[in-house]
Amino acid sequence: MNNWYLHDGLVFRNGRLLKEDILILKGRIAAFGSEAARMRRECSVPIRDYDAGSCVVSHGFIDLHVHLREPGFESKETIETGTKAAAAGGFTTVYAMPNTEPPLDSVERLFELKERIRQSAFVGVEPIAAVTKGRAGGEISDLAGLVHHGVRLFSDDGDPVESGIIKGVMEQLASINGVLVNHLEEKSLLRSGLFWDAVPPESEYIMLERDLTLVAETNCRYHAAHLSCARSVELIGKAKQEGLPVTAEVTPHHLTLTKDDIAFPEGNYQMKPPLRTEADRLALIEGLRTGVIDAVATDHAPHGREKDGVIYPDSPFGVTGLETAFPVLYSNLVLTGRLQLERLLAALTTGPGKVAGQSGELKIGEVGDIVVLDLECRRTVEADKFFSRGTNSPYIGQKFRGWPVLTLVNGVAKYSAGRPDPKHSKEAH
Ligand SMILES: [Zn+2]
């Protein structure tokens, strides 16, 4: 069933929330408002009516930064489990980082990955390709070939692009309309440890300064991954004022937690970049509010049970995020008056859409990628309810308000009132 009449919801489009109905026919948005109601009455095909009263209806969320782990690390996550988690979180498109085994670094591997996605993904998956072969930092991948086959974003995420090659990478990407997504971490400034004291803010912003200078020289489209400190927000703001083609993202955990929140099990608060100070957190919120930061991205990084207990020196970095992103941000930022709901929704739809070259806007004729959010729904985060294989979340046991209740991809329900609809799982990709 890909015909829907979503009625009485508060619909987010053109940057505003307005009570109106939406009609979706054959998986595409057919009409809004009174025109939708009229067409619904006159339509002879079967249509599913959905009461979206007390809910917000938005374009499905777009996540520019997830780790699906497949191929290579299927004990942590697969394309299937990761995209079920995405659907449950209201995400209809996720951009998958290439730190898999093998990494996505060639056209041949792109085809292999696309076949896996075709077979098992519950939502749209757009691969991000590695900047260098094997993500090894030396030889540059076939960027032009990958762009030719539809890749737009490039990253060696987990590792930054080294000084010796980054200018050449930017020059190439500028000429083929690719986007460099850099993981900002100047390794020479790292110290031993797992948290803020080991990965100081300078390791991020000194590299960002280097990159922005090169953006000015090459005019490469540049996207700064997971900003974590106040100085980085300042630098992006200044670069935008100067008209440089830069964008930036921030994660839910950096917007809602600081180093002072770290508790047992500490592995669930251990990620790169690390949690920092309250001043940094407030600067990130302000950056998001003013539009200096374009997008919320989860940096969903599932791991197995190895982060459950006492932390150890090689404990892997990263936390899961797809299933909790909206309720965590709505409860922490919108209900507290720090951020407008419209701004949060834009940062999950049109903001990332603009970075990646997709619309993210509800429009007549567009595919029905939609999330319905119940703003009254209150739920406690429980690890054993996750669709993700990763349970490494700092929010386990906490109660949040505002949960996705229906996710449509191409007009097909991929998540509904608690579980993905397996009947329809093969219909749309
Ligand atoms: Zn990263």
Distance CA(242)–CA(179), nearest Å, equals 19
Neighbours of 18 (CB within 10 A): 12
Domain enclosing residue 194, as ranges: 61-356
- Does the annotation mark 314 as catalytic? no
| Alpha carbon of 380 to ligand 1 centroid (Å) | 28
Task: Find the DSSP H helices in 247-387.
Answer: 252-256, 278-290, 325-329, 341-348, 350-356
Report pLDDT digits (tens) over 131-171.
Answer: 999 999 999 999 999 999 999 999 999 999 999 999 999 99
17 and 77 co-located in one domain: no
Ligand 1 (ion): residues with CB under 5 Å are 157, 183, 225
370 and 414 co-located in one domain: yes
Burial of 148 (0-12, 13-18, 19+ CB in 10 A): exposed
275 and 394 co-located in one domain: no
Distance CA(36)–CA(226), nearest Å, equals 39
pLDDT at residue 306 in the model: 85
Report pLDDT digits (tens) over 75-133.
Answer: 999 999 999 999 999 999 999 999 999 999 999 999 999 999 999 999 999 999 999 99
141 and 206 co-located in one domain: yes
| Alpha carbon of 83 to ligand 1 centroid (Å) | 19
Which of 304, 329, 356 is the last residue before a domain boundary?
A: 356
Average pLDDT for 292-303: 97
66 and 166 co-located in one domain: yes
Does position 421 have pLDDT exceeding 90, yes or no?
no
| 311 part of a folded domain | yes
| Alpha carbon of 181 to ligand 1 centroid (Å) | 9
112 and 217 co-located in one domain: yes
Q: Which of 37, 33, 39, 42 is nearest to 14 (CA)?
A: 33
22 and 85 co-located in one domain: no
Which of 356, 382, 397 is the last residue before a domain boundary?
A: 356
Choosing from 299, 369, 374, 421, which is the catalytic residue? 299
Q: What is the DSSP string of 14-50?
A: TTEEEEEEEEEETTEEEEEHHHHHHHHHH--S--EEE
Report pLDDT digits (tens) over 38-52.
Answer: 999 999 999 999 999
pLDDT-derived band at 260 (thresholds 50, 70, 90) equals very high
Report pLDDT digits (tens) over 7-33.
Answer: 999 999 999 999 999 999 999 999 999
90 and 135 co-located in one domain: yes
Which of 356, 383, 410 is the last residue before a domain boundary?
A: 356
**Contact by Cβ (8 Å): 274, 400:** no
Residue 17 sits in a domain whose CATH number is 2.30.40.10
| Alpha carbon of 247 to ligand 1 centroid (Å) | 15
pLDDT at residue 170 in the model: 98
Counted domains in the chain = 2
305 and 187 co-located in one domain: yes
Which residues make beta-bridge pairs with 140?
132
Average pLDDT, the chain: 95
pLDDT at residue 428 in the model: 36
| Alpha carbon of 411 to ligand 1 centroid (Å) | 32
Share of the chain above pLDDT 90, in %: 93
| 36 part of a folded domain | yes
Does position 318 have pLDDT exceeding 50, yes or no?
yes
| 429 part of a folded domain | no
| Alpha carbon of 40 to ligand 1 centroid (Å) | 46
348 and 377 co-located in one domain: no
Residue 85 sits in a domain whose CATH number is 3.20.20.140
| 125 part of a folded domain | yes
Scored b (16 or more CB within 10 A) or e, 348-378 reads bbbbbbbbbebebbbeeeebbbbbbbbbebe
Average pLDDT for 228-238: 98
195 and 66 co-located in one domain: yes
279 and 149 co-located in one domain: yes
Does position 422 have pLDDT exceeding 70, yes or no?
no
- Cα 253 to its chain centre, rounded Å, is 12
